[in-house]
Amino acid sequence: MNDYYEILGVPRDASQDQIKKAYRKKARQLHPDYAGPESEEAFKDLSVAYETLSDPQKRQMYDLGGPEAVHGGGAGGMGGDGFGFADIFESMFGGSSFASSSGPIPRARRGQDQLLAVEVTLEEETFGATKDISLDTYIRCPRCEGTCCEPGTRPQTCPVCRGTGSVTRVQRSLLGNIRTQTPCSACQGHGSTIPSPCHECSGEGRVRTRRRMSVDIPVGVDNGTRIRLSGRGEVGPAGGPAGDLYLEVREKKHPIFTRRGDDLHTWITVPMTTASLGTVFQLQTLDGPREVTIGAGTQPQEEIVLKGLGVGRLQRSGRGDLRVHVDVEIPRRLDDRARELLEQLADLRGESRVEPHRGDQSMFDRLRDKLSGQ
């Protein structure tokens, strides 16, 4: 003989609340829809045990004479305090049916985000700019203003679902009547129909067009940076809120300067004699012409730094630097007079011999050699 207390997993002095909690837990585990058909008999035994022990009178009869004293040798239906299959479904699904409706589906939905590449010059990255752009997008229908209806008309309550947006179907099964809810096919779950759709947008509440707008390019943006413009993407169906517009920066190549982070780099070539003697020349920067001093004895690959003439910083104030890289031009061909003069200079400076040296010395090695007179 099956022990109802053992089936539920509760002691014989369990309270009604303990019995109910135990039944809820076991019902989840043994329900045939989840545990499979092989659990059907165990689920029936569990139901009979709960029906008996949840009713004080039946429980007293069971304690005195066992199952026969309660059911006369048979098993009854669900009873007790009314907790049965509906409570199982409520525990599992949050309601008395397998699917429940949360109300009509709104027609208005948020529009899609959009991505647009925008070409930006180095000057615009440095100082910021306002640019005019155009893109294909959805805007609110000017005829119906997003209502989806012809002017002078309005949506009507769906006669099939009566505005709920869903229809309920009842199916009989081994477990009893099971209710399911599905979106209404007559109104697609919206709860209303549009008898006179707008002719301009065909009842969508928005139309596609080419839109022009002005956008701000922040100081310091770099190639590949994405700028988010909230609410400037396409308008959603039925006049729903607009999505976001993302501008992806594509840097236009500059003829003179190369950007590396917040710094600008440029290269100049000076003759050997100019590098030796030094000079001053004007360099055209993004801020206009600036004087650059080439010091006497400037070596190849030396770098001249012009502070604060780089790109504006995106996250903080200030600007980077402009770095001028010096290439010294060595003449490949000399006429007789030029060769004679260079030979005289070489003799004067004693530069006629070539001596090998280590090129991988550290700073400390060079300092040591200098101090020791080597």
> Which pLDDT tens digit goes with each residue over 114-158?
999 999 999 999 999 999 999 999 999 999 999 999 999 999 999
Across the range 13-27, mean pLDDT stands at 88
In the predicted model, is pLDDT for residue 347 greater than 70?
yes
Q: pLDDT at residue 355 above 80?
A: no
Residue 91 has pLDDT above 70, yes or no: no
CA distance 270 to 301: 11
Which residues sit in the known binding site for Zn(2+)? 141, 144, 158, 161, 184, 187, 198, 201
Tokens representing residue 21 in the block: 């909690």
pLDDT at 329 over 60: yes
Residue 121 pLDDT: 95
The pTM assigned to this predicted structure is 0.60
Distance between CA 247 and CA 224 in Å, rounded? 9
- Give the pLDDT confidence of 307-318 residue by residue, as tens digits: 999 998 887 788
Per-residue confidence band for 83, with pLDDT thresholds at 50, 70 and 90: very low
Parallel/antiparallel/unpaired status of strands 176-183 and 192-193:
unpaired
**How far lies 156's CA from each of 159, 160, 199, 310, in Å?**
9, 12, 18, 63
pLDDT at 204: 94
As annotated, the binding site includes 141, 144, 158, 161, 184, 187, 198, 201
Q: Looking at the predicted structure, is the pLDDT value of residue 254 above 90?
A: yes
Which of 96, 92, 94 shows the shortest CA–CA distance to 32? 92
Query: What domains can be seen in the chain, in order of their start residue?
Result: 4-93 (1.10.287.110), 114-251 (2.10.230.10), 258-369 (2.60.260.20)
DSSP state of 236: B
Q: Which amino acid is at 72?
A: G
Give the up-direction half-sphere exposure of residue 300: CA atoms within 13 A in the CB hemisphere.
Answer: 6
- For 167-195, the pLDDT digits (tens) are 888 777 666 677 788 889 899 999 999 99
pLDDT at 344 over 90: no
